[in-house]
Structure 1
């Protein structure tokens, strides 16, 4: 199994979260990109502020590593126009894929029209620009029933409004990896929630993210049927190592 082609190697901490400078963070994301180049990792996933610089690096290296970024991260509650501005800037800076955090709090409150508008509008714009979009639903913040409902909602909007021919370009993604759960409970991808998503997303692909830290876990996710895995442990995974750090 070629795990490398499934991996989005991720660094999403802000300088403040990591306790380092902006220039040190830039160095880290450049190292991440170089690791992806050297190890044939499919994609790198970074904050929007660093997209332009990493695009320049990838172009200089003539690399086909995919460049992804996050939008409305990690809360998802940003105004739609704010998310769209962030997305348009990321596209202009050279992002290939945009992982939007859906407004899951609005969904939980029953503001379904808000969520529908967000998904339809953002998906249409991103696909029109020839990019891939992924919707992070933040499974740890949802009940099983809510995971099913929001996954079906995204699926139905894409099929009804965007077109089934575009389904492969719209992912449903499990987690940010930054959601704080009580009592140290899992806050990302696990077999249970991924199965719920897979059972309800098709024909949309699923991305497992948050908490995949070993080769065995990655292989399990792939065997379940996910198309991509987001992890800050990509290099350890492909080397067959297990880490307790990261997201």
Structure 2
């Protein structure tokens, strides 16, 4: 299985250095990953490092709690686009889900989708942080995602109490069907992990361990596996 284009090569640690971001971009270009996923402060640098490559620049919005009001998130998103981001992974407000304010969730998703009007190739991924949600809440949010036509629903920030699980990825894909894609992230470290989530319907994998995963893939291919 060719896995590199499933991978969003990720570095979102608070202490990430410019040198670490440059290394991340070099690795992504070398292995032809789908994107690098970085904090907004590094978008301009990543855009420059990745010019003339097939790797997209992805950044996070409202990260990691999603607790900003929508207007603030949209400002952050617009600034990221100006700096060169091509994909936005934004965190929904988990409290809105818990409070049953699904109208606010729909309004926020629609505001992000509206950004695509002036950015036709923009990809919007909404991070659910499934570790804090019930199966019923995940289904409800995924229904809204399908209705508003976001591009992806994503499991996790990697900063919550747990990351992706097979149960949640399967539920998310079943709910959104063919209308929305699924990104699994959080705790995905091995080729087996990656293939498990792909087989459940995920088309993107967020991981900081992409190089090891594709290296394992190359090793398996060389052994005829």
TM-score by length of 1: 0.84
Contact 2:32-2:54 within 8 A present in 1 as well = no
In structure 1, stretches of 5+ residues that fail to align are 16-23, 159-166, 182-186, 242-247
How far the C-alpha of 1:127 sits from its partner, in A, is: 4.8
What is the alpha-carbon root mean square deviation over aligned residues? 1.3
Match of 1:118 in 2: 108
Deviations 1:169-197 (A, max 9, x none): x1011100101x2xxxxx11121110000
Does 1:134 find its partner at 2:125?
A: yes
In structure 2, stretches of 5+ residues that fail to align are 218-225
| Equivalent residue for 1:222, pick from 198, 202, 205 | 198
Match of 1:64 in 2: 54
| Equivalent residue for 2:43, pick from 38, 42, 51 | 51
Match of 1:2 in 2: 2
Deviations 1:154-179 (A, max 9, x none): 11222xxxxxxxx6xx1011100101
Match of 1:238 in 2: 214
How far the C-alpha of 1:124 sits from its partner, in A, is: 1.1
Match of 1:161 in 2: none
Does 1:189 find its partner at 2:164?
A: yes
SS at match of 1:240: helix
- For these two proteins, the number of residue pairs brought into alignment is 215
Runs of 4+ more than 4 Å apart: none
| Equivalent residue for 2:142, pick from 127, 151, 159 | 151
Match of 1:244 in 2: none
Does 1:198 find its partner at 2:144?
A: no
Match of 1:184 in 2: none
Q: 1:14 to 1:127 in 2, by over 3 A?
A: farther
Using the TM superposition, name which of 209-218 and 120-129 deviates more: 120-129
Deviations 1:44-89 (A, max 9, x none): 1000000001101112xx2121110000001011111110111011
Does 1:172 find its partner at 2:148?
A: no
SS at match of 1:150: helix
CA distance, structure 1, for counterparts of residue 148 and residue 58 of structure 2: 23
CA distance, structure 2, for counterparts of residue 238 and residue 142 of structure 1: 32
Deviations 1:9-50 (A, max 9, x none): 0000112xxxxxxxx611111100000111122211000000
SS at match of 2:206: strand
Match of 1:93 in 2: 83
CA distance, structure 2, for counterparts of residue 58 and residue 87 of structure 1: 20
Q: 1:127 to 1:208 in 2, by over 3 A?
A: farther
| Equivalent residue for 2:33, pick from 18, 31, 41 | 41
